[in-house]
Amino acid sequence: MAKALFLDIDGTLILWDKGPFAEDIAAITEARKRGYYVFLCTGRSLGNIPRAFLDAPYIDGMICGCGAQVILGGNTIYQTWIPEDVLALVCGFYLGGEKWCVFEGEKRLYTVNSYEPFRFAVEAQKITGKNDFSQRYADERVAKVTIQGAASGEERDLLCRNLTLNPFPDYFEGVIKGESKSRGMEALLRAAGIDRRDTIAIGDSLNDMDMIQYAGLGVAMGNACGELKRAAQAVTLDCGQGGVGYAIRNWA
């Protein structure tokens, strides 16, 4: 009977510019030999996935943009994106301010204002007008926005009509309403013919909450936020200290 591992990226498989780590990769590779499918389950859009994972032979599929795009065996089996009129509203709002706002697309990244490049896998294209996604970048599909700092009341009024906001210590992400990591998991499991009970999910932050609650076994990283640790069925070691490998060796 096939089984599945669902792995977050940031704070789970990589730590800023370090990783993936050899001990984790070895355990993942061994799990695949024992019949596990291995899926990334990330808030990053496809255009923001590090090359190390895009080229990895041990990855069988991906859930990107917190469920906005689901990929199995190199084929997209589900996808949705932020409508052009919403993108125009968001572009116009941040072009008038100082905060950076990065639009995470299927192909590339796009930014309003100067951003922190170490957070992203590739260099972002510049947004110069609110209608850039209907004109200059009309071939792009945007799955998510990542925005500097905490969301103000004005930002919430603008964004929450169409997006769910997930807070992090010094930025927040806007995910398409109705999409989630667990919904992406459901689509992948259905397509791969795997029972939900035969899954393990490993993550570290609040946007992993529904993922670890949906899985047969939900594991929090040692460096995970307190809320996730309390919700998880098990807690492993830190990212960079063999956390994913430890979880697979002990519970997979």
Enter the pTM of the model. 0.97
**Shared-domain flag, residues 159 and 42:** no
User: What is the tens place of the pLDDT at every residue in 186-204?
Assistant: 999 999 999 999 999 999 9
Rg of the chain on CA atoms, in Å: 18
Quick check: 243 and 232 in contact, CB under 8 A? no
Quick check: 215 and 24 in contact, CB under 8 A? no
Number of compact structural domains in the chain? 2
Confidence of residue 97 (pLDDT cuts 50, 70, 90): very high
- Which domain CATH number covers 74? 3.40.50.1000
Confidence of residue 83 (pLDDT cuts 50, 70, 90): very high
Q: Of the candidates 176, 204, 231, which is a domain's last residue? A: 176
**Shared-domain flag, residues 115 and 171:** yes
Quick check: 239 and 223 in contact, CB under 8 A? yes
Q: Of the candidates 155, 176, 197, which is a domain's last residue? A: 176
Predicted local confidence at residue 1, as pLDDT = 77
**Shared-domain flag, residues 61 and 112:** no
Quick check: 244 and 215 in contact, CB under 8 A? no
Q: Of the candidates 176, 192, 226, which is a domain's last residue? A: 176
User: What is the tens place of the pLDDT at every residue in 122-133?
Assistant: 999 999 999 999
Boundaries of domain holding 150: 84-176
Residue among 25, 62, 66 nearest 208 (CA): 66
Q: Give the torsion sign (CA, 126, 131, 134, 136).
A: negative
Predicted local confidence at residue 174, as pLDDT = 98
Q: If you average pLDDT over every residue of the chain, what do you get?
A: 97
Section 8-23 average pLDDT: 96
